[in-house]
Amino acid sequence: MKANKSIINFHNTFPELASQHSSQIQEVVAVIFPFLADAPAEEHPFKLNDIVKTGNQYGIVTTLNKTEKPVTITWDESPGEDSFSWTYNLDEIRALTISLVPQFIPKKTAGQLPACTTIVLANSEKIQFSNATRFKVESLSEHHILISSLDQSYLFPINLFPSYPTSCTIDIPAPQQLKDARCLSVNELRIRAKTHLALEVPDNFLEFVIPVQKQQLKEKLARQLSEENYELLDFDIAWEEAWKQQLENLTKKQGFYGFREGDCILQHREGVQRMGRVQHLNVEEPRPFHIQWNSAELQSYSLTELKGLGIARIEPVKLSPNVAYQISEDGSYFTAWIGFRTKALAKAWLIPVKKLVGHLSHLIDCQISELQHTGYKYEYAVECPRHKTLNKRLEALGKVAELDLEKMPFRR
pLDDT digits (tens, 9 = 90+) for 327-366: 887 777 888 999 999 999 999 999 999 999 999 999 988 8
Asked if residue 2 belongs to a domain, the reply is no
- 201 domain residue, yes or no: yes
Domain finish residue from 230, 254, 278: 254
Domain limits for position 290: 264-314
Examine the domain organization and report whether 78 and 107 are in the same domain.
no
Q: Based on the domain organization, do 339 and 382 belong to the same domain? A: yes
Q: What is the pLDDT of residue 11?
A: 44
Do 351 and 228 share a domain, yes or no? Answer: no
Q: How far, in Å, are 204, 293, 332, 402 from residue 357 at the CA level? A: 41, 30, 18, 13
Q: Are residues 299 and 394 in the same domain?
A: no
Residues 75 and 142 in one domain: no
Please report which confidence band the pLDDT of residue 172 belongs to, taking 50, 70 and 90 as the band edges: low
The reply to whether 3 falls in a domain is no
Structure confidence at residue 42 as a pLDDT band (50, 70, 90): low
Alpha-carbon gap, residue 327 to 390, rounded angstroms: 10
Do 96 and 107 lie in one domain? The reply is no
Same domain? For 325 and 390 the reply is yes
- 259 belongs to a structural domain: no
Note whether 34 and 141 are same-domain residues.
Answer: yes
Together in a domain, 132 and 27: yes
Query: Is residue 180 pLDDT above 70, yes or no?
Result: no
Mean pLDDT over residues 237-266, rounded? Answer: 87
Of the three residues 149, 168, 187, the one that is the final residue of a domain is 168
As for how many domains the chain has, the answer is: 5
pTM of the model: 0.45
- pLDDT for the residue 80: 61
* Residue that terminates a domain, selected from 127, 149, 168: 168
C-alpha to C-alpha distance for 88 and 38, rounded to whole angstroms: 26
**For residue 290, is it within any domain?**
yes
What CATH number is given to the structural domain containing 286?
Answer: 2.30.30
Co-location of 334 and 393 in the same domain: yes
Quick one: 29 and 151 in the same domain? yes
* pLDDT attached to residue 219: 92
State percent of the chain over pLDDT 90: 30
- Indicate if the pLDDT at residue 323 is higher than 90: yes
* 33 & 145 share domain: yes
Range from 98-112, 170-184, 232-246 carrying the lowest mean pLDDT? 170-184
Kindly report the average pLDDT of the chain as a whole number: 83
Q: Residue 409 falls within a domain, yes or no?
A: no
Does any domain span residue 408? no
Torsion (CA) 246, 248, 254, 259 in degrees, nearest 10: 150
In a domain, 46, yes or no: no
